[in-house]
Structures are given as structure tokens and as C-alpha cells.
Amino acid sequence: MVGIVTGTIVGLATITPASGSVGPIGAIIIGASAGMICYFACGFIKEKLGVDDSLDVAAVHGVGGILGTLMVAYLGWKRELGGLGINFHSWHDQLVVQVQGCIVAFVLSIVATYLIVKIISPLLGGSIRVSEEEETKGLDQALHGENAHMLN
């Protein structure tokens, strides 16, 4: 069940940047590419990079969003695969614009996250991470003093 939900979110996150510019064939190509690439990105980010990303946000929204943003340059081109036309000259020119947009969004995300953590950390006693004991106990019980689900 988790794989189906994650796959659905991958498809939605990846097609979003291209949704108004690609035709049906382009959407199928983006969806198929997203499924394969984001699947491997989930393992790479967690296992190889060691990022604690329990909801696969980086792999699903980050990698998927970048993939959709880059693929729209070619698949949105009016002359190929039913694209609706997003540029005037060539898909190469549009790809440069898309890469620039991805770089700006990535840098903005890193800087904004860093600033938010630096501002919030002192308010939470110096760390935004819960202790290992609280994590093992369960965050509902540790932070809120209640159980989200009653399991008998």
C-alpha cells in the first residue's frame, strides 16, 4: 500500500511542472521516467547519503520536481510528442531556462531551510531533533502525551 501511495505522489509531483505544457504521450513518458528514477532516488538518498527522510520528500518532491521541470523543455516543445508549445526557438534554449530555474529553487530551499532551523533551534532548546528515547517511545506519546491509535 505504501508503494502505491508513494508512486501516486511521485507521478503528481513530477507532472506538476509540466502539466499545462505537455500532451498525453509526454505525460506518459514523464510518469514512467518518474517511477523509475524516483524509486532509485529513494534508496540512494536514504542509504548512500544517509539522509533521515522518512517520508521520501527529497526523492519524491525534490527529484521528481526537478525531473518534471527539465523534461518539459523537450516534451512541451510543440513539434514533439504533442507538446503544447512553451518556447519560440528550440527546446535547447528552454532547457537552459529550466536548469537555471532548478538551480535557483534548490539554492533558495537550502538557504531558507538553514535560516528556519537557525531561528527555531534556540526556541526548542538548541535542537530540532527529538531524542532517540522519544523516537523509540513514539512521538505522539512523547510530545503530546497520548496515543494516536489504540492497538489492542
pLDDT digits over 48-105, tens only? 998 888 788 888 999 999 999 999 988 888 766 777 777 667 888 889 999 999 999 9
As a CATH number, domain 2-140 is: 1.10.3430.10
Residues 18-58 pLDDT 10s: 888 888 888 999 999 999 999 899 889 988 998 888 788 88
**Euclidean distance between CA atoms 43 and 138, whole angstroms:** 24
Ranges of each domain in the chain: 2-140
Q: Are 95 and 74 in contact (CB under 8 A)?
A: yes
Supply the pLDDT for residue 79: 67
Q: Are 126 and 134 in contact (CB under 8 A)?
A: no
**Euclidean distance between CA atoms 85 and 74, whole angstroms:** 10
Backbone angles phi, psi at 88, to 5 degrees: -105, -25
Supply the pLDDT for residue 70: 94
